[in-house]
Amino acid sequence: MKKGRWSLQSVIIVFVCVVVALSLLITDMLISSRVASGTKESQAEKAGNIARMVAHSPLVIEALSGKRDEKEIQKFANEMRKVTKVYFIVVMDMNGIRKSHPESKMVGKPFKGGDQGPVLKGKEYTSISKGSLKPSLRYFTPIKDAAGRQVGAVAVGISLNNVQKAVHKSRTGVYIGTVIGILIGILGAVILARYIKKILLGLEPFAISKLLEERSAMLQSVHEGIVAVDQESKVTLVNRAALKLFEKAGLQGNPIGKSIEEYMSSHRLSDLLKKGKTELDEEQNLNGITLLINRVPVIVGNKEVGAIATFRDKTEMQLLAEQLTGVRIYADALRAQAHEFMNKLHVIMGMVHMGYYEKVVDYINEMVGHRKSEFSFVTNKVKDPVLAGFIIGKLSYARESGVELSVSCDLPLPLPANANVSHGLITIVGNLVDNAIQAVNDCPTKKIAVDFDYGDDILTIEVKDTGKGMGEELQNQIFQKGFSTNGENRGLGLYLVTQAINKLEGELILSSKRGKGTVFTVYIPYKVRGEQQNDHRDDC
């Protein structure tokens, strides 16, 4: 420990002792007044209960009503006083004349104290006064007969000395508790200081502070996003890179202390805590941003205490984004179209060299007419130029592969309101068509039909092939990432299709039987702009 710095143990002991002493002192000040007030109230309540018992006694009521000898009241009151251990029980008539008193010579004389007036008017109350005896706390209750007519009153007194003794006795318990609390606080401070020192591996606060600063600087300098949660799925750490990514995804505020499920509902860190295993290179969509995430449980002493997620760097995310948005599919389609035209040019060049000029003209007219008809159909039916160009490219790619690909669309398909829908459709249609081309590759009949149907804000896409079909076992596996019947390093196509459909909140139905081909049917919510909806109705 450096000179001038207190050890952690010394700081904790002093701090805990001061806090305990101050808290118990303040508690004593607050409780003492309440104890005194509560004791007086309990004594008054005791007197009141006794007074009501006397007031409802048939003996007392009958004696005051003239139906019994009044001397019986004195005997009854003295017995009650001895049993209940109160200072006095005085029964008086409506004129304030005592019918009972601890001192027999006072019976028959007027009640003293000057506070009996309200009770003779039917009021029940407490009072502190001095009569023929010492000052006392008095409880007055009217006495009424069976007809409800007041025939007298009763006063039950408790000596103020007894009240003070009860208050002092109650406070004594508080004082003893205060002293014991301070002693326990000192002992607890010593034990706590030693326990904390053990947990911290003997490190002093300034050493811990230095380590924390170094860790924070290291985390903030990392370009990958880092998020850590505890066992209750609450965020305990977020670095600057992760916050920037969250802001880009539209998540506002600092997630520290919040539940990860509350801050980002699509995150699965809480699931990892239950599974207790590492997950690497998992794809996840966060409000339109595709991430690759590594999740690792944090284990201390063979016990899971939380989990850490790291977000992959920009280069790896861009590589995955290119696959999801269909950039590679665009390039493949354009390459296929270029190959097709190159083959056509080779045919034309050969016919020119051979001097078949008339046949060259017929061939060109046939080719241009076919391409024009095909291009006109697609552009008239599909208003999205990106999707239309992609379909034309796929038609060329299918012809080059020796597959007959037909596209049908009864009603025009308007532009989507959200551009992300176009990228999703390219991923879905491109992978389904590629999968169909592979399915019919070894079949005698190589036909694929793609049908678009739009209505009631729902787009239906059906891709049907004449391939060999699939059994139920294979159908349950083809959507898994990495599963493929065409060799290693494949199996992403249909997995990307399901990811894109889920992102668009759509649904996919697979129908296939061995020897009878396969049909993929996709249903996707498809919103268009208002003016396009009107144009679509006019086309209908």
Per residue in 160-198, pLDDT (tens digit) is 776 667 667 766 766 777 778 778 877 887 788 778 777
Write down the pLDDT at residue 364.
66
- The tens digit of pLDDT for each residue in 291-329 reads 777 788 888 777 777 888 887 655 555 555 545 444 555
> Does 287 share its domain with 354?
no
3-class SS of residue 481:
coil
> Does 350 share its domain with 316?
no
> Does 135 share its domain with 259?
no
Write down the pLDDT at residue 338.
65
Write down the pLDDT at residue 470.
85
Residue 202 falls in which region: left (phi positive, over 0), alpha (psi -120 to 50) or beta: left
Q: CA separation (Å) from 24 to 27, 38, 67, 497? A: 5, 20, 60, 68
Q: Which of 142, 161, 180 is the last residue of a domain?
A: 161
Element (H, E) at 539: helix 530-539
**85/323: higher pLDDT:** 85
Q: Which of 161, 176, 209 is the last residue of a domain?
A: 161
> Does 462 share its domain with 518?
yes
Q: CA separation (Å) from 100 to 85, 110, 149, 275, 363? A: 16, 11, 21, 83, 137
**74 is a domain residue:** yes
> Does 302 share its domain with 447?
no
Write down the pLDDT at residue 265.
65
**275/453: higher pLDDT:** 453
**349 is a domain residue:** yes
Mean pLDDT of 439-458: 88
> Does 252 share its domain with 314?
yes
Can you tell me which residue has the tokens 């790291």?
310
> Does 415 share its domain with 386?
yes
Residues 6+ apart with CB under 8 A from 116: 92, 96, 140, 153, 155
Write down the pLDDT at residue 489.
46
Residues 6+ apart with CB under 8 A from 199: none
Q: Determine the Cα–Cα distance for residues 263 and 256; give it in Å rounded to an integer.
A: 10
Flag whether pLDDT at 520 surpasses 60: yes
Write down the pLDDT at residue 27.
72
> Does 308 share its domain with 438?
no
> Does 378 share its domain with 313?
no
Residue % of the chain over a pLDDT of 70: 78
Flag whether pLDDT at 3 surpasses 50: no
Write down the pLDDT at residue 365.
57
Write down the pLDDT at residue 540.
35
Say if residue 119 is exposed, middle or buried (CB neighbours under 10 Å; 0-12, 13-18, 19+).
buried
Please report, as a single letter, which amino acid is at residue 393: G
- In this structure, the dihedral spanned by the alpha carbons of residues 342, 346, 352 and 353, taken in order and rounded to 10 degrees, is 140
pLDDT interval class at 451 (50, 70, 90): very high
3-class SS of residue 210:
helix
Flag whether pLDDT at 537 surpasses 50: no
Among 523, 502, 482, which Cα is nearest to 288's?
502
> Does 395 share its domain with 524?
yes
**Average pLDDT of every residue of the chain:** 77
Write down the pLDDT at residue 463.
92
**198 is a domain residue:** no
**206 is a domain residue:** no
Mean pLDDT of 467-483: 80
**431 is a domain residue:** yes
Question: Would you say 414 and 536 are in contact if contact means Cβ atoms under 8 Å apart?
Answer: yes
Lowest mean pLDDT among 8-22, 313-327, 508-522: 313-327
Please report, as a single letter, which amino acid is at residue 222: V
What is the total count of domains within the chain? 3
- The tens digit of pLDDT for each residue in 113-153 reads 788 889 888 899 888 877 666 777 889 999 998 888 999 99
- The tens digit of pLDDT for each residue in 65-79 reads 888 888 888 889 888
Q: At 512, which CATH number?
A: 3.30.565.10
Which residue range is the domain that position 291 belongs to?
Answer: 222-320
Mean pLDDT of 261-281: 64
Strand segments (E) across 402-467: 404-409, 447-455, 458-465
SS (H, E, C) 19-78: HHHHHHHHHHHHHHHHHHHHHHHHHHHHHHHHHHHHHCCHHHHHHHCCCCCCHHHHHHHH
> Does 380 share its domain with 473?
yes
pLDDT interval class at 15 (50, 70, 90): confident
pLDDT interval class at 5 (50, 70, 90): low
Write down the pLDDT at residue 276.
60
> Does 444 share its domain with 524?
yes
- The tens digit of pLDDT for each residue in 368-422 reads 555 556 677 777 888 888 788 788 778 878 887 888 888 888 888 888 887 778 8
**37 is a domain residue:** no
pLDDT interval class at 344 (50, 70, 90): low
Q: Determine the Cα–Cα distance for residues 527 and 225; give it in Å rounded to an integer.
A: 34
Q: Determine the Cα–Cα distance for residues 178 and 166; give it in Å rounded to an integer.
A: 19
Q: Which residues pair with 159 in a beta bridge?
A: 136
Mean pLDDT of 427-436: 88
Q: Which of 285, 301, 320 is the last residue of a domain?
A: 320
Q: At 253, which CATH number?
A: 3.30.450.20
Residues 6+ apart with CB under 8 A from 8: 193, 196, 197, 200, 204, 205
pLDDT interval class at 1 (50, 70, 90): very low
Q: Determine the Cα–Cα distance for residues 89 and 87; give it in Å rounded to an integer.
A: 7
